[in-house]
Structure 1
Amino acid sequence: MNMLQYLQLKLVLGAFQLPNLDGIRTYITDQGANAIIIITAVLAIVFLCMQKIGAFIGFIIFAGVVYFSVSSPEKLLGAVKGIWELLF
């Protein structure tokens, strides 16, 4: 078998590899975080246009907590566990 035939065979066999789902968790996490950012921006603009400053500030705080929990749930669970151990 010469080198060209070997490369062709390797290319054909490589084209039939089974797909895998390795990056699905990061993809869902990234897309969830992006959706939260878009919804946060839209609702923040609505609250500002309606001149509801208290609701705007409360919503920004709530959205920040939700974004933090979606983007890094392990850190959030660690923080909650640390607070729990500190209190009890």
Structure 2
Amino acid sequence: MTLFEILLFLIVAAICGGVARSLAGGTNGGCFVSIAVAFVGSMLGGKLAQLTGMPEPLPITIGDTQLPIIWSIIGGALFVAALRLIAGSPKT
């Protein structure tokens, strides 16, 4: 992968992670947290897709690497929701 492809991959991952975080109620953090959520979400979502036998409806290919957009968002939202359940909501 070239440097441009890596940067493009990180930008797409940040967008997917941001959407996943907003669907699950949001978390503290910025762009790097969104990227981390997207990467964990793509692993979790990819495993869910594999277990259920469902295809990826919207894959994006950057260089030789494919990013499953929909499964990244679903997996990321599930990951953030699980973290919120474990951590609990802050008391105000």
TM-score, normalised on structure 2? 0.30
Larger Rg: 1
Larger strand proportion, structure 1 or 2? Answer: 2
